[in-house]
Amino acid sequence: MKIYKTFESFIKEALKAGEESEIYVDDYTLDSGETIKAAEILGAIKASPTEKEFKQYFFDEYGEGSFASGELEKITAFFNEVKAEEKEKEAEEEKEKEEADKAKEGGDAGEPKLDLDI
């Protein structure tokens, strides 16, 4: 027996920050009662290279007076977690690439290559 979710129940669940990500972003309800959807938060994270631009998006969209003390910081925590995970993944990929290059060269990069062109 298969269980199918309605579209509404699917949308209301937390969204994963990426296919390989371990971070989930939830909808966030402001003290004013307005709800910021997880999809909007993720979209702003992906579109904003810096935290300042991320915050500015929400100020522009909802107004600076819409956020009570600490609310924007909670949303910004999602941004910081996702960006930290992305940087960690990039560092791992770079390390793997360097190790693959070392293996391709046939040893330690510190050893001089003995090229005997005669």
Confidence tier at 91 by pLDDT (50, 70, 90): very high
Dist CA 68 CA 30 (whole Å): 8
* pLDDT reading at 42 higher than 80: yes
pTM over 0.85: no
pLDDT attached to residue 116: 67
Question: What local confidence, expressed as pLDDT, does residue 68 receive?
Answer: 84
Lowest mean pLDDT among 4-8, 60-64, 78-82, 93-97: 4-8
| Predicted local confidence at residue 53, as pLDDT | 94
